[in-house]
Amino acid sequence: MRGENGGGMAVTMTAAVEVEFAYRECERVTRSQAANFYYGIRLLPRFKRQAMCAAYAFARRVDDIGDDGGHDRGAQLELLAREREAVAALAAGRPHTDDPVAVALAHANRYYNLPLDALALLIEGVERDVVGSDYESFDELVNYCRCVAGSVGRLCVAIFSDGAADAHAHRLADDLGVAMQLTNILRDIVEDHERGRVYLPAQDRERFGCRELFAADPQAVSALVQFEAQRAAEWFARGLPLVEQLDLRSASCLQAMAGIYGRILERILADPGQVMGGRISLSPLEKTWVAARSLAIAGREQLR
């Protein structure tokens, strides 16, 4: 982060303490809840790691509102509206100072030129979850994925590039976000069904003869999941060239995050039917191995 040694950072001691507290809170949230992302985030230097944690903490809070079965739909939408107001205040340079996440995001935005519209887009995607949107076509599903995950990808690449990412880098980050969200959808079919959500496109379910996933022939469901998993793999292939555009530690972070989801996707491709038995996950040891391996992979990519 520019200003790491104090240059150009005209802040009072009190303000600095408040910012540090805000970042610590965001890091606490990220360590405790980012089961996959934190393995990559911890590879970053301190200031980029803090900014990434601020972005994650916001995304986590918005996502939790969407998944909170303890609220009725109206209450969830009201909470999301408040988050939208907080984003507008942040964009206007008047962040809510009683909110550690807003304080941390505002500070990160000063140095990384965050695409704040991505925060609003994330809220839009979660609103679709709350109202119970259905996806008739794959294109509609991709649009949803761009909202809830491509937006986060654009925030990440802004931080990786010190706010200097070009449009091509943002597109690649968006593609990787779609790939990881598609993987999430396949991994979480059972959990989403329990929440009354079905993300796999109706056209595809109809095509494979399993409009009602949990009443369909298991072989038909496996064929559908295999088909969608292959699509996710194609989106990974589109987005991974982003690694070549980043510095080593940022590239390692990205490679680790994508690598963990890639491993989950490999397992789904090897046995598509297993997703109907519950969530697929990697052990902490496997995630650590992927994160360590990402350093070597990122280094090789940069030597090409």
- Write out the chain's pLDDT in tens, 304 residues: 333 333 333 444 456 669 999 999 999 999 999 878 888 898 999 999 999 999 999 999 999 999 886 678 999 999 999 999 999 999 999 988 899 999 999 999 999 999 999 999 999 999 999 998 889 999 999 999 999 999 999 999 999 999 999 999 999 999 999 999 999 999 999 999 988 899 999 999 999 999 999 999 999 999 999 999 999 999 999 999 999 999 999 999 999 999 999 999 999 999 999 999 988 888 888 888 887 777 656 555 544 5
Residue 96 main-chain phi, psi, to 5 deg: -70, 110
Distance from the Cα of residue 39 to its chain's centroid: 13
Residue 274 main-chain phi, psi, to 5 deg: -65, -20
Q: How far apart are CA 253 and CA 250, in angstroms?
A: 5
Distance from the Cα of residue 185 to its chain's centroid: 13
Query: What pTM value is reported for the model?
Result: 0.88
> In 3-state terms, what secondary structure has residue 297?
helix
| 14, amino acid identity | T
Q: How far apart are CA 10 and CA 54, in angstroms?
A: 21
Q: Which residues contact 210 (CB under 8 A, 6 or more apart)?
A: 216, 217, 220, 221, 224
> In 3-state terms, what secondary structure has residue 242?
helix
Q: Are 81 and 123 in contact (CB under 8 A)?
A: no
Q: Which residues contact 290 (CB under 8 A, 6 or more apart)?
A: 39, 256, 259, 260, 263, 282
Q: What is the pLDDT of residue 267?
A: 95
The radius of gyration computed from the CA coordinates of the chain, to the nearest angstrom, equals 19
Q: What is the pLDDT of residue 10?
A: 41
